[in-house]
Structure 1
Amino acid sequence: MFERTTQWPDALSTYLDRVSDYRFQWGATKPDTHDCATFVCGAIKAQTGVDLSEDFAGKYTSWIEAGKWLIENGYRSFYDCVTQRLGESVHASQARRGDIVGRQANGRFYLGVCVGKFSYFLDDNGLAPWPTLDCDACWRIG
């Protein structure tokens, strides 16, 4: 679905370093903030040059508003939105560096970026590692 640039490994590393201490904010409406959707879109852009966040970044400021945005734009769920934009998911055991991974926790679905045995997800203090094989889905990038 997307083609990675020849410089994607360095670009991804630079991106992850740059955003490692960004704070969580729904819709990423303030500088140096992101939510899991804008975080992974930044990783995709770093690898491919394609920005998938243009139509939703800054359009919601809460979990409820994000859900309304999904419904208003024809998506049944966050997972459905990701799949329509990135293609069918595969098992997390197939994840490679730079792929997008997802996991279910606390009744919500979260997105992260695979960096190998671990994937980075957002927490209150920036990025937190999570075992890639404990993720529930993977979307291949490139």
Structure 2
Amino acid sequence: MTSIVLVEPEIPGNTGAIGRTCVALDMELILIHPLGFDISDKRVKRSGLDYWRHIRLVEFASWDAFIGERAPRVDQMFLFEEYAPRSFYEPDYPADAYLVFGQETKGLPSGIVEAHRDQLVKLPMRSDKVRSLNLANTVTAAAYQALQGRF
């Protein structure tokens, strides 16, 4: 099963919308703490609508806890960063991929980026006037790309 991993997300509405995408695509949602909101926040559930109860949600206290418990293979990990050297169109995503996203305002912590440089990908943009897309939009685009050919 493909999993969406949010590392220290800050905006409850984005997490709720991403949860809805996970339900629609039968993906697991993994949240890495600390979160910038309380998971019971009404804004999370409002964005996820009545789908929130169907989310396969897993939480980890830290990135290290996630890595320690899940022990993902190198070929499973795809870390999304705006300055990554390759497009998210390039990889062949395995069915058990982890699509990893950082905070809305800061991206992934530098230690995680350094440790996984070869797994960095980005959503290409044609305009230089936009630095990045909304996290929920980025996750949705990435999720559909990772599932290409599996419908």
TM-score, normalization: structure 1?
0.31
TM-score, normalization: structure 2?
0.30
- More strand as a share of residues: 1
- With CA pairs under 8 Å and 6+ residues apart, which has the higher RCO, 1 or 2? 2
